[in-house]
Amino acid sequence: MSILKIEGGKSLSGEIRVQGAKNSVLPILAATILQNGESVIRNCPDLTDVHAAIDILRHLGCEARFEKGTVWVNSRGMTSCDIPDELMRRMRSSVIFLGAILARCGRATISMPGGCELGPRPIDMHLEAMGRLGAEIRENSGDLICRAPALRGARIDFRIPSVGATENSMLAAAGAAGTTFITNAAREPEIRDLGEYLRALGVRVTGAGTSTVTVEGGEMRQYAEHTVIPDRIAAATYISAVTAAGGDICLSGVNAGDIAGVTGAFLKMGTELTFRGGELRCRRVKRPTPPGTVTTGPYPGFPTDAQPVLMAASTVAKGATAFVETIFQNRYRHVPELLRMGADISVDGRVAIVQGVERLHGAQVRATDLRGGAALIVAALAAEGTSEIGEIRHIDRGYENIASCLEQIGGRAERIERKDEQDG
């Protein structure tokens, strides 16, 4: 098992190109099976979740390879419509393949994704949406057996905006006869990006990235190319790092509009953010001031995925910050680990109160989930002394070559293979 050793307390400097967005690549890779042909997807980050999606594609009978940030998929040979439990469990978001498989094959068998580290993650809205489009779904010993010999366009009105359910509906609707109207859709930039890829396939999609998405099913092209948008959560992680540890770094390949929901908090903390072209210069000029109350919400609200990294930065702010987590029940699992580093945080249900301390200190900690792991990196960069972060497999799901990326911005980070760490 690997650990990440970070020597903190040094200010950061340097430049880094922000990786492509994990949460764009995954639904787009699922979408590559809609057509009977080839796709070239560029700016794909080298992540375990991306490899898990590639393994699903191969299991389905597609050819798929990852080479220098590009994934090439040939879905002509697709033979299977089932995803076995072992592949479903490797990546929670494998459920996004459901809509695409139904659109392509008219039937699908997947296993029920279980609860996860962020708390229960139901898929009722995904299943209801597939039902609206004409699928019949029954559960058999944990398997979901779905049949939809003839998907047809429908009106789908979500009770709350769900990223995955919106994506699944768009994928199934692309293979349905007629037009689908999705209302109260999630508006995340990654959904806009999926819409762009679908348009490259020839699907008529409007409104992706707004709360009303329209998809007209029909013939698709046999070849599509697409370049994935930059990862706004990775960008927020680097901004958090410089806010916590100090320094002056430059992020290239950032989409200013897509990170508008997080920049306000960092500006309140006193971090200077200057956009020029596709570059964002981030400079800490003084010890951060607290960003006030941070309430997570669906886009364009403050992203739940950036809550842990902002919390890590606020542990060294001059004053108190309140966090209110409204998306996932169990998204404070990094808190006990931050406490080991000297942070002062109390949690009551969905609310966490952080009292800023002057300094954190290095400690041995464990990544409990992907973004919680990123929070530990931010804290470790700011902390005096050395930290060792265990269970970094969680971090590898979403951050490409994390140790070398941190080095590019002046962080002292080293990945070490340890034989004795148990993979819990």
Cα 261 to Cα 42, 276, 298, 304, 309: the distances in Å are 25, 18, 10, 11, 14
132 binds ligand EPU (CB under 6 A): no
Pick between residue 242 and residue 370 the one whose CB is nearest to ligand EPU: 370
User: Facing residues of 25 across strands?
Assistant: none
Pick between residue 98 and residue 125 the one whose CB is nearest to ligand EPU: 125
How many other CB atoms are found less than 10 A from the CB of residue 165? 28
Cα 370 to Cα 20, 147, 319, 397: the distances in Å are 16, 34, 27, 7
**Whose CA is closest to 177, among 216, 213, 212?**
216
Q: Exactly one of 77, 114, 115, 122 binds ligand EPU (CB under 6 A); which one?
A: 122
**Whose CA is closest to 255, among 3, 11, 1, 21?**
21
Three-state DSSP class for residue 350: coil
Subset of residues 323 to 362 that bind ligand EPU, contact rule: CB under 6 A: 327-328
Q: Exactly one of 77, 86, 115, 124 binds ligand EPU (CB under 6 A); which one?
A: 124
Pick between residue 262 and residue 370 the one whose CB is nearest to ligand EPU: 370
228 binds ligand EPU (CB under 6 A): no
**x/- letters, 23..42, toward ligand EPU (CB under 6 A):** x--x----------------
19 binds ligand EPU (CB under 6 A): no
93 binds ligand EPU (CB under 6 A): yes
371 binds ligand EPU (CB under 6 A): yes
Q: How far apart are CA 212 and CA 184, in angstroms?
A: 6
116 catalytically annotated: yes
Q: Binding segment for ligand EPU among 12-20, 221-229, 302-310, 408-416 (CB under 6 A)? A: 302-310
Pick between residue 356 and residue 398 the one whose CB is nearest to ligand EPU: 398
144 binds ligand EPU (CB under 6 A): no
Q: How far apart are CA 270 and CA 283, in angstroms?
A: 9
Q: Exactly one of 370, 380, 395, 403 binds ligand EPU (CB under 6 A); which one?
A: 370
Catalytic option among 116, 146, 250, 282: 116
410 binds ligand EPU (CB under 6 A): no
Q: Binding segment for ligand EPU among 120-128, 224-232, 349-357, 375-383 (CB under 6 A)? A: 120-128
Q: How many residues bind ligand EPU (CB under 6 A)?
A: 24
End-to-end CA distance of the chain: 11
Structure tokens at 355: 């009292």
164 binds ligand EPU (CB under 6 A): yes
304 binds ligand EPU (CB under 6 A): yes
Residues that are catalytic: 116
* Binding residues vs ligand EPU (CB under 6 A): 22-23, 26, 93, 121-126, 160, 162-165, 186, 303-305, 327-328, 370-371, 398
